[in-house]
Amino acid sequence: MPELQPDDPIKTRSYANVILIAIFVLLLCVSWSFYQEFIGLRPWRSYQTRFAESYSAYLQKQVRDREAAEKAVESSADYQKLQAALQQAEAVADPQDKAIKQQSDLVDLQRAAILSAFQTDRSLVGSLIYDYEVVPNTAAYRSEKQSHLQAVLDAEAKEYSVDWPEGDGKTVTRTFNYNQLNDTFNQLLDQKAQLTAKQGDIDQPVKDAQAAMAKLISDKLPGLTADQLDGLLKSARDMDVTLVQINVNPPGTQINDIGGVGLTDRCQSCHVGMNPKFVPAALTITKADLGLPRSNDAPFTSHPDQDLLTWHPLDTFGCSPCHGGNGRALDTVELAHGRYEHWLWPLNYPENYQAGCQQCHSADAWTEHAPVLNEAKILFRDRGCIGCHNYAGFDSQGQQLQDTDREIASLEKEKVDDNQKIPILNKQGDQAPDNATAQRLYAEATNLTVTVSKLDARVEQLDQLSHSLQQEVKRVGPDLKEVRLKLHPEWIPYWLGHTWNFDPTAQMPQFRLEPDEVQAISAFIWQQGLKGPALDKQAPGDPARGKDLFNSLGCLACHSIGEGSQKIGGDIADNLSREGEKANYDYIVRWIHNPRVRSAPYDPYLHRDLTSEDYTKHGLPFVFDVDHSRSPVDGHELVVQQQTIMPDFRLSWQEARDIASFLMTQKDASSHYDPAPFVNDASLYEKGRTLVVHYGCAGCHEISGLEDASRVGTDLTQEGSKPIGRFDFALLYTKAQDGILPDGQPLKRGNEYSSWYDLKGFFDQKLADPAVFDEGQYKPDPMDRLKMPKPNVTQDQINALTSFLLGSTQSTLPPSYQYLPTDQRQAIQDGWWIVTKYNCIGCHQIDIGQRTILMDLPAYKGDNAINLPPVLTSEGARVNPEWLKSFLANPSLSATDTDRDGVRQYLKVRMPTFFLSDDEVRKLVLFFGALSSQQQPFIPEKLAPLSDQERSVARAIFTSPAAPCLKCHMTGNPAHDANATAPNFLLAGQRLRSAWTERWITEPATIIPGTAMPSGLFVRQGNRWVFNAPLPPEAKNYTGDEADLLVRYLMELTPQEQAMLSGRTPVAAKSGSSSVKK
């Protein structure tokens, strides 16, 4: 070892401090990297740990509570009784079970004992028979065949000795030949099967008792059992901290196809509570369950709507496709939620959650579980957005009409071409060189004639379709051609300038109009109005009676009346509190009598209204309605009805006068209107026309000369896909980025201050007041300003519309995610477009749980709910579609007696006539069928005809004092029907479906909860329904199903039979008349 230098720095200088510092630095680096690795970069790790802790604690408590509850039930008298029953059953079954087990064991032993001999012998015999069979059956082989046969016989006769168990452990030696072995073996199999069946019978009472106990527990304590909860607790405690990722890559796409079709979603790495492995659907957990304050940043709660997850399974959808956000980001909450400038699909705020639904459900009119979206779609139409903005799927009848006309033209041309070809082909056939060619050419000509006749059928269908489409075109606003007949001229300028002063709930938006613009528009509209034919003069009606009718007929399902807190009714049509200030009585009478009547038909081909002269010239009376809809001038389909959705209530003229008289009393006595002589000023006409075109008034109103005007606004079908740069924030750009609202207030979203430079911010502000985007700009000419009027919407409605627009995207999801069903669900959506269009849901409950407008009116509260229009949730299963078709066409079900409801004459509320087009009727009938999963077309169930004996039994039950049927249901006897509350049974045969009827009479409350029809009329006895009351003597020996019997009886019921029943039942005729005498 060499000697060290005395000044060797290694020896003389200490590096301890340097090393210490280095160690610190190194440690820090290592710690920092560990921290980053496990926590900093992976916040989801700590989320998962925290989840496991809070969730375990929650489950622990649940397990304890549940155990205690289960114990309580187990110690209850009911349970003890069941337990005693179980023990008793066991005591009975056990000895028998034991005996059977012994027998069964013995059979097993015996079978085992002979098995070897049986198998050996069977194969031996089998092979010998084969040897015998393969020898040819000819003389040459006779002796060989004979010897083989002998071998078989010998083998069959051969005896095997077997140690045969006799029970009690003893065995005896028995011998068996081939046949005995076979027989014994089969006997043993039979014995075994019999014993097993017997054991099943013996054990059944025990199994029943056990099932009864389990049922008691599940009835008293629904939800997960303590054992199940315990299992969850274990899996929560053993939870692996791991990244959760969902990849969905449709064929031919790549995982990294950002913004394209592939899908990567890691949201559940933090949102652990979504995982059904840990939190099953039966256990929806909230922050409160986990003992966390609402504001706590802890993404642990489970999805509040488990049905949605059933339809959109997490493992194929993940979270971000519906909710937005950056599904693959994990580093921070902000990144994962996509709340930064360059992510195009930020996480939707709670008020806009349903934007996610719209991405794939844009073709729906009604999406289950998406009430906000459904409301938005109704608003989009009813607030007149659709008047200016095109949106695919909404009110496209105009476009379809054009397409249909074009197709008809092209088919007509094809027909002409084909018709020219036929004689040519025939002639070529005549001159053909040989018969084969001639035959071919003649056949071609014949085929072509058939083709032409099929074209005729197609054209005829298209004609019908165009008739339908013309009928389906509706406008949100009233027909302005009739202003001179309907309105007071001085009211028009007031309305235009002060729309919401006159009616704070008006559907019409408030336009930003200068006084001279108001005058010009009023003048144009007035001068453009029809001047005749003059209306019939109407005598005054009775306002008190009118008020009664107005309140009870169902007007309030669409219209509202009263102002402020006094307002009741729907928002789909006008508030009528001030109707008397604006309208002419004679016109309103005609309108109420039939709102579809118009003063003149419009000819879209000639672009003008037809006059009586046009008809006279062609020798026709001036009659135009749905049945007389062809132009006498050019044969085209006319507009023969008012383009309003308001239906015809089939009222008498007197009733119409009464209601109109009531509406005329609806006015604010203090209001005053300045005279408006300028409406007749011809010099204002041109300016007015320009303004009316500019503001797009013809989008909602029918205006002479502007019938074909196109929509003036932007197409909004894919508005949510526009990049933010294409939205004009104008001078509000900086404010939006800084999160300052137009009014100077800072914007808060949830609990946080936020920028509103995003699509949501733009839509929210634009809907609240479009004018704000003009702020600070120099626009001396009012026509330079943004022309969008202020829509009359509440904050909730703005949220709904914003959600709708945010979801109106060109979806980046794989096409298979789009909801474009081709099965019955398509029929359901087709129907919803019509149902929402005519506001059927204002009166009827169609979707389970859906509220109607009428339901919430004070007049129908409590036990008055039975006066509501019928619930239609099972309509498709209830009625025969053929009947429904005729009912929709004419709800009075009578050609002459129309001033009534065809089914429920006892209801004051009445089903009106909507003049639905054939196509709409077809779609509605299919819709109701599809909603109730009914097959199309409908083939009625064949019912066994009643025998005479059955008929007399049915009659006896039906009319027995214990059967309340005829007390509530109409019988056709006026005295009785005055107080009836249910339809006449005579309708049943054509109207009802028998299967539904049986379900209805046995368990009505499961079909329509709250119905006046009582449950418990029948009880189940074994396999049949039995009338639940003392039976009349005639019926006592009947052994069939009594519900089925009554249904068959009702389906066969004839007027004669009913009259006879009324005679027999004193309910109707006798007591009715006696009460009158009193």
**Which CB atom, from 39 or from 189, has the smaller least distance to other proteins?**
39
Please list, in sequence order, all residues whose beta carbon lies within 8 angstroms of the beta carbon of residue 403, skipping any fewer than 6 positions away. none
> Any idea how long the chain is?
1078
Cα–Cα distance, 53 to 55 (Å, whole number): 5
- Say whether residue 1066 binds other proteins (CB under 8 A): yes
- At its nearest, how many Å lie between other proteins and the CB of residue 35? 6
**Which CB atom, from 36 or from 179, has the smaller least distance to other proteins?**
36
# chain residues binding other proteins, by CB under 8 A: 59
Interface with other proteins (CB under 8 A), residue from 963, 1026, 1045, 1061: 963
- At its nearest, how many Å lie between other proteins and the CB of residue 1075? 4
Measured between alpha carbons, how far is residue 836 from residues 221, 424, 699, 853, 869 in Å? 41, 54, 20, 13, 17
β pairing state of 263-265 and 170-176 = unpaired
Piece of 632-640, 751-759, 816-824, 958-966 that binds other proteins (CB under 8 A): 958-966
- Structure-block tokens of residue 861: 């509260």
Piece of 12-20, 92-100, 751-759, 811-819 that binds other proteins (CB under 8 A): 12-20
Contact string 820-859 vs other proteins (x = CB under 8 A):
----------------------------------------
Cα–Cα distance, 657 to 476 (Å, whole number): 25
β pairing state of 602-603 and 568-569 = unpaired
* Cα distance between the two ends of the chain: 141
β pairing state of 602-603 and 608-609 = antiparallel
- Say whether residue 722 binds other proteins (CB under 8 A): no
- Say whether residue 53 binds other proteins (CB under 8 A): yes
- Say whether residue 161 binds other proteins (CB under 8 A): no
- Say whether residue 269 binds other proteins (CB under 8 A): no
- Say whether residue 65 binds other proteins (CB under 8 A): no
- At its nearest, how many Å lie between other proteins and the CB of residue 972? 15
Query: Which of 486, 706, 682, 514 lies closest to 602 in space, CA to CA?
Result: 706
Neighbours of 140 (CB within 10 A): 8
Interface with other proteins (CB under 8 A), residue from 206, 1013, 1051, 1053: 1013
Residues 826, 832, 833, 837: what is their CA dihedral angle, to the nearest 10 degrees?
A: 170
- Say whether residue 1063 binds other proteins (CB under 8 A): no
- At its nearest, how many Å lie between other proteins and the CB of residue 22? 11
- At its nearest, how many Å lie between other proteins and the CB of residue 260? 37
- Say whether residue 619 binds other proteins (CB under 8 A): no
**Which CB atom, from 944 or from 978, has the smaller least distance to other proteins?**
978
Interface with other proteins (CB under 8 A), residue from 23, 112, 243, 424: 23
Piece of 324-332, 742-750, 790-798, 1007-1015 that binds other proteins (CB under 8 A): 1007-1015
Check if the beta carbon of residue 312 is closer than 8 Å to that of residue 337: no
Q: What does the radius of gyration of the chain's CA atoms come to, in whole angstroms?
A: 41
- At its nearest, how many Å lie between other proteins and the CB of residue 10? 15
Measured between alpha carbons, how far is residue 528 from residues 479, 612, 638, 670, 680 in Å? 12, 19, 20, 31, 10
- Structure-block tokens of residue 503: 């009616």
Measured in whole angstroms, the distance separating CA 536 from the mean position of its chain's CA atoms is 45
- Structure-block tokens of residue 999: 């379900």
**Which CB atom, from 729 or from 1027, has the smaller least distance to other proteins?**
1027
Measured between alpha carbons, how far is residue 260 from residues 255, 346, 425, 686 in Å? 9, 16, 55, 51
Cα–Cα distance, 1050 to 969 (Å, whole number): 12
CA-angle at 851, arms to 865 and 1017, nearest 5°: 45
Interface with other proteins (CB under 8 A), residue from 1012, 1021, 1054, 1055: 1012
Helix (H) or strand (E) holding 922, with range, is helix 918-931
**Which CB atom, from 27 or from 623, has the smaller least distance to other proteins?**
27
**Which CB atom, from 23 or from 84, has the smaller least distance to other proteins?**
23
Q: What is the DSSP string of 370-429?
A: -HHHHHHHHHHHHTSHHHHS--TTSS-HHHHHHHHHHHHHHHHHHHHHHHHHHHHHHHHH
- Say whether residue 64 binds other proteins (CB under 8 A): no
- Structure-block tokens of residue 411: 């088919």
- Say whether residue 1015 binds other proteins (CB under 8 A): yes
User: CA neighbours within 13 Å on the CB side: how many for 153?
Assistant: 6
- Say whether residue 972 binds other proteins (CB under 8 A): no
- Say whether residue 1021 binds other proteins (CB under 8 A): no
Chain positions 271 to 290 lying near other proteins, rule: CB under 8 A, are: 290
- Say whether residue 961 binds other proteins (CB under 8 A): yes
- Say whether residue 512 binds other proteins (CB under 8 A): no
Check if the beta carbon of residue 728 is closer than 8 Å to that of residue 766: no
- At its nearest, how many Å lie between other proteins and the CB of residue 64? 12
Interface with other proteins (CB under 8 A), residue from 115, 968, 1007, 1069: 968
Please list, in sequence order, all residues whose beta carbon lies within 8 angstroms of the beta carbon of residue 124, skipping any fewer than 6 positions away. 155
Piece of 122-130, 717-725, 812-820, 963-971 that binds other proteins (CB under 8 A): 963-971
Interface with other proteins (CB under 8 A), residue from 49, 210, 396, 400: 49
**Which CB atom, from 20 or from 392, has the smaller least distance to other proteins?**
20
- Say whether residue 220 binds other proteins (CB under 8 A): no
- At its nearest, how many Å lie between other proteins and the CB of residue 399? 47
Query: Which of 985, 690, 1004 lies closest to 870 in space, CA to CA?
Result: 1004
- Say whether residue 717 binds other proteins (CB under 8 A): no
Interface with other proteins (CB under 8 A), residue from 5, 12, 31, 453: 31
User: CA neighbours within 13 Å on the CB side: how many for 531?
Assistant: 3
- At its nearest, how many Å lie between other proteins and the CB of residue 24? 6
**Residues found near other proteins in the complex (CB under 8 A):** 14, 16-17, 19-20, 23-24, 27-28, 31, 34-35, 39, 46, 49-50, 53-54, 57, 290-292, 296, 298, 862-863, 865-866, 961-964, 967-968, 976, 979, 981, 1004-1005, 1009-1017, 1028-1030, 1066-1067, 1070-1072, 1074-1075, 1078
